[in-house]
Amino acid sequence: MGLSSCWADNWVCYKLYNKILSVQTLLFKGLNATEKDVVIREKDVVIRG
């Protein structure tokens, strides 16, 4: 997917990659996390930048 070259050049890609990892981790843990929690945390990541 070429994320590593993107990651080296572009902090937006890096943040997006981190966001994806965070959501995946949350979903993986996620049997005790509701869908609403995932959405709120996703928005948190965007708002905080």
Supply the pLDDT for residue 49.
46
Supply the pLDDT for residue 43.
62
> CA–CA separation, 49 vs 43, rounded Å?
10
Q: What is the DSSP string of 1-49?
A: --HHHHHHH-HHHHHHHHHHHHHHHHHHHGGGS-HHHHHHHHHHHHHH-
Assigned token pair, 38: 């995932």
Supply the pLDDT for residue 14.
72
Supply the pLDDT for residue 21.
79
pTM for this prediction: 0.33
Residue 9, domain extent: 3-48
Query: In total, how many domains does the chain have?
Result: 1
Model confidence pLDDT, tens digit, residues 1-49: 455 555 556 777 777 777 887 877 776 666 555 556 556 566 665 555 4
> CA–CA separation, 38 vs 26, rounded Å?
7
